[in-house]
Structure formats: structure tokens, C-alpha cells
Amino acid sequence: MPGPLTGLVVVALEQAVAAPLATRQLADLGARVIKIERPGVGDFARGYDRTVHGQSSHFVWLNRGKESVELDVKEDTEVLRALAARADVFVQNLAPGAAERLGFGAAELSSAFPRLITCDISGYGSDGPYRDRKAYDLLIQSEAGLISITGSPAEPAKVGIAAADIAAGMYAYGGILTALYDRERTGRGSNIEVSMLEALGEWMGFPYYYATYGGSAPERSGVRHATIAPYGAFRAGDGTVIQLGIQNEREWQDFCAKVLLMPHVATNARFVSNSSRLAHRSELDAVIDSVFGGLTGSELVARLEDARIAFGRQRTVAEFAEHPQLRQRDRWRTVSTPGGDVQALLPPATFRGWEADMGPVPALGEHTEAVLRWLRSNGA
């Protein structure tokens, strides 16, 4: 069955991660996404690496199902305006002020095309003292305080994925869907603005409240938890690493009785409550390590499953790609790219009755002529 956004046209003046993530999800839902790229070079994310059949891993991930049009937006403004006239959604994440200088700012587009939904994605927003600053994921992670609470007690670290870009892309995607729904009710388009700093700032809610009203930020604790124990990585005797998370006192008692086989530990004064376990974390870890070290990974997993304790195996990326849960649920699909087929996960939201339209990744300028013919055929 066709996706719920079939028939909608999205024009994407986009690059890098945030905007392409938002529009790729619209393409998965059936929207026609026309991606505008620099002639000869394209989205600079095409050059990040050459790991996927000679193509960039970021670009392959973020651009399936789109049509690539090479366009010099400074010279071919009439073509871009014709595309905007045919569009339902116009997304851009150019440098601050660039869209306005080209004549494609949100206010101007809305005046010309009242039903058009515009979405501007930037690092810091359209005003304020940081408006014109360049914004990359590392810099936003730093400005939002995320790096300060990530890593080990000895050294902070950035998150290993583009958290700020992904946050902005997800809020842009949700905002566009909201605006489409609103247009159905009102007949009018909307202007959406998403700032990477504000998007990641929303994700910083817990540490913000903890630090602001508790007097100090959560301590960097690696894979451990700043306020829960036992929580984090523990190793079985054969080297298998298990991430453990005990969330309440009932689980703690079951863990002691059925996994450690030491029920008396649960009522020991040093471990009887979460606060006491935090105060004596090193002693608690020593007790757990003494038991886990005598078990194989399989034996430990069996005990944890029997006791219904929350845990996870620490997997590599390669092991994740072979995850038995994803395989059993048939979550992988084949997507074609100019360099060869790749495997891609179905989008997380599963709908009964239709499946995401996971189209091919486009070559640079692959659809330029076809899109120009489409514009001419519609009298644009």
C-alpha cells in the first residue's frame, strides 16, 4: 500500500546530517523528496568517507528514497522558485542567513506560497548572539553540556554518534508532520525553526534539573549510573561483558537471591537501599565480581533470565548487525545504491497494512533532467 505521505512534494536544500535525516523519514513515508545538491560536488556528506561500496556511510544512511538534482542555487533561482511553488514542504539547513540572501527565507516563501510548510534547521537559531556561529555536532554537544557529563571520571567524551544533529533532525521531522496535520485543519502552511542547541538541550532535561536544583551535575561515570547501583558493566569468567541495571528494591532482592545465590546481601546494612549501595559501590562491585567471575557468559545469562533481571550483552557494532532479535523480527531490507546493494533497518515505527518505502540512494544529479521535465510539464 502507498505510504501516508504519498503525493506530497518535499524540496530539500540540505546538507550533512540534521535536515537529511528529517527528509529521509518523510521519503520513507512515501513523500517525494527532491534533494538540491551543488553541481559537481553535491552534499558534502558524500565525501565524509568511502566505506560503503566506495560511498559515504553517512550519505547512504540519510538519503535513500530521494531524487538528486544538481542546481546552482545562486544562478538557477527561477528553477528553485518553481520547485518551491510545487512543494508542500521546503526544508533548508544552509549557513545562517544564506536562504534569506538567496530570496528563500521562510517569510518570503510563506508570502508567495501560503500553503507551503517551511522548516529551517540551524545550530543556534535565527537570532541571539550565537546566530552566525558555525555549528557542528561536536561543538553543540559541548555547548549543551553533554560532553561535561559523558565519559569517565578522569576524562569527558563526546557521544559516539551525531547526537545534536540527530536530535535536530527528529524534531524537524516531528514538526513537519505536525504542520501537515495543522494544514489539513486550517489550509495554511507553517514556518518551523529547529535549533540544534535547543533540540539537544531538550534531551539534557534530566541533568539540567539534577544540577540546577540539586546543586551539582551528575558525575561522569562511564557506563555506570550516577545515581543507581548496581548499574553498569560486569564481566563473567569467560570475558563476556554484561550491562546490568537494577531499578527497584524488588529486583535487587531477586538479584541477590537468584543470581548471586546470596539472599543475605540484600539486607546487609551497606546494601539495603539504593543510597547505601551508592555509598558502598566499590564493595558491592567486589561482591558481584566474585560471583560473576565464577560463571561463563551463558551461565550468567541463564541466571539473569530466570530471575527476570534487566540486562544486556555488550555487543560490538558487528554483533549488533547480526542481532538475533532483529533477524527474528525480519527488520532488515535491501536498499540499492550506485555502488551496490546495502542492508538497512526498517524505520522503528511499524504500521499494520503498509511498509516503509525504502527507495534507492541517488547518484549525484541522477534526477536533474527528470525533475526539470516534470516542472515544464506542470507549467512551472
DSSP code, position 156:
B
CA distance 380 to 371: 11
Known catalytic residues?
225
Distance CA(66)–CA(363), nearest Å, equals 10
Contact 274, 328 (CB under 8 A): no
Q: Measure Cα distances from 122 to 18, 23, 167, 195 in Å.
A: 9, 15, 12, 5
From the CB of residue 281, how many other CB atoms can be counted at a distance below 10 Å? 18
Cell readout for 337 is 545504491
Phi, psi of 117 (to 5 degrees): -100, 125
The dihedrals phi and psi of 176, each to the nearest 5 degrees, come to: -65, -45
Q: Which three cell numbers stand for residue 311?
A: 540486562
Instruction: Give the number of other CB atoms < 10 A from CB of residue 142.
Output: 15
Q: Could you tell me if 122 and 196 are in contact, meaning their C-beta atoms sit under 8 angstroms apart?
A: yes
